[in-house]
Amino acid sequence: MKQTEVLLQPNPNARIEEFVYEKLDRKAPSRMNNPELLGQYMIDAGNEFGPGTAYGNALIKCGETQKRIGTADRELIQTSAINFLTPLRNFIEGDYKTITKERKLLQNKRLDLDAAKTRLKKAKVAEARAAQLNTSQPEENNIMIWAEEVTKSEQEVRITQSEFDRQAEITRLLLEGISSTHAHHLRCLNDFVEAQMTYYAQCYQYMLDLQKQLGSFPSTFLSNNNQSSSTPVQSVSPPSVLASASASLPSVTNSIVTSGISELKSSSGSRKARVLYDYDAANSSELSLLADEVITVYSIPGMDSDWLMGERGNQKGKVPITYLELLN
């Protein structure tokens, strides 16, 4: 339970604050979480650089995505707290404490019963020994004394046995309820897993959309230190539980050699190009692409510098150059 709280809220001061407000039966003040703060700073910086600039626009898009992730994070915490943490805490602070108390009481009753049985055993041994030495009046008195002691011990054993049996029954009934408690906790655990699955699926989709948006920027802005690289970054496959499991996570890369693009745009010829990652056409004038397929590309007069015409059999349409790697 404690480690789940740490997972959902890593900040110990925030956890203490939430605990205090919970004990006071008051709602804790709403604060922006770390992704939301980062997103807001990115948006502010992007606006300062200027939304019309490539860098400023990219910062704004990244900031908006970070804020969406922050919202998903908030939903994960809320759902997990209601469906997983609260039932677990209620059990630990309620039924579990009761069971622990009754089990401890049962152990004490067992010790009392064992002590009573030991005293009875000693009384019987003493009575038998006195009977063997019965040669005078004083010994007869000792026999009577031990006989009374045996009677008292037997009565004590009956009482302690009865109390032990009653406590054992109470403890047994409480422990039998554990099976239904486990079934309830199993449902809660499933809810927690589903909440995490939804959260990570949302985050993946948000970043996938963001990377596609960044992929539409001119290749000059996507390369590190404005240096071209002919080796694309290896794409990452998403987890199988996601709806888009067959898609590959696109990598931002500038694999088009500037001179090759310039030659293609200045000539009327065509070139073969390999698709770096999937692209969904935004309208009928564009061509959808699948990662690793090879298509024919060429330029037409008046076309935007970030686009080429692509052909695949009888299909053709505009394709972004940042999704392509020209082949020799």
Asked if residue 265 lies in contact with residue 259, where contact means CB atoms within 8 angstroms, the answer is no
**Side by side, which strands form the sheet with 294-298?**
315-320, 307-312, 294-298, 270-275, 324-326
Beta-bridge partner residues of 296: 272, 311
Asked if residue 77 lies in contact with residue 196, where contact means CB atoms within 8 angstroms, the answer is no
The dihedral built from the CA positions of residue 37, 40, 44 and 46, taken in this order, carries a sign that is positive
pTM: 0.51
Q: Which of 269, 207, 295 is nearest to 320 (CA)?
A: 295
pLDDT tens per residue across span 189-220:
999 999 999 999 999 999 999 998 888 765 54
32-216 and 260-326 in the same fold:
no
Residue linked to tokens 């693009």: 261
Q: What is the pLDDT of residue 164?
A: 94
In the chain, the percentage of residues whose pLDDT exceeds 70 is 80
The number of helices, as runs of H, and strands, as runs of E, in the chain is: 10, 5
Higher per-residue pLDDT: 251 or 265: 265
Asked if residue 217 lies in contact with residue 322, where contact means CB atoms within 8 angstroms, the answer is yes
Q: Helix 178-215 and helix 54-80: axis angle, to 10°?
A: 170
Identity at 85, one-letter amino acid code? L
pLDDT tens per residue across span 10-52:
777 776 777 677 777 777 777 888 899 999 999 999 999 998 8
Domain residue ranges of the chain, discontinuous segments joined by +:
32-216, 260-326
In this structure, the number of other CB atoms found within 10 A of the CB of residue 128 comes to 12
Class of CATH domain 260-326: mainly beta
| DSSP code string of 28-79 | PPP---HHHHHHHHHHHHHHHH-TTSHHHHHHHHHHHHHHHHHHHHHHHHHH
pLDDT band per the 50, 70, 90 thresholds, residue 266: low
The dihedral built from the CA positions of residue 102, 108, 112 and 118, taken in this order, carries a sign that is positive
In this structure, the number of other CB atoms found within 10 A of the CB of residue 16 comes to 10
Whole-angstrom Cα distance, residue 274 to residue 261? 14
Class of CATH domain 32-216: mainly alpha
pLDDT band per the 50, 70, 90 thresholds, residue 277: confident
pLDDT tens per residue across span 156-183:
999 999 999 999 999 998 888 887 888 8
